[in-house]
Amino acid sequence: MDFHHHSLPHLFEQLGLPAEPNAVEHFIDVHSPLPPSMSLADAPFWNHSQSEFLREELLEDGDWAEVVDELNSRLHS
Q: How confident is the model at residue 5 (pLDDT cuts 50, 70, 90)?
A: confident
The answer to the question of residue 38 being in a domain is yes
Cα pseudo-dihedral 54, 3, 10, 73, rounded to 10: 50
pLDDT digits (tens, 9 = 90+) for 20-36: 999 999 999 999 999 99
Q: What is the pLDDT of residue 69?
A: 96
Render pLDDT for 6-63 as a digit per residue (tens, 0 to 9).
999 999 999 999 999 999 999 999 999 999 999 999 999 999 999 999 999 999 998 9
Return the CATH number at 39.
1.10.10.1130
Tell whether 3 is covered by a domain. no
Structural domain containing residue 42: 8-76
Q: Does 64 fall in a domain? A: yes
Phi, psi for 12 (deg, rounded to 5): -65, -40
Q: pTM for this one?
A: 0.91
Let me know if residue 44 belongs to a domain.
yes
The number of distinct structural domains making up the chain is 1
Is 1 inside a domain boundary? no
User: What pLDDT, on the 0 to 100 scale, is given for residue 70?
Assistant: 97
2 within domain boundaries: no
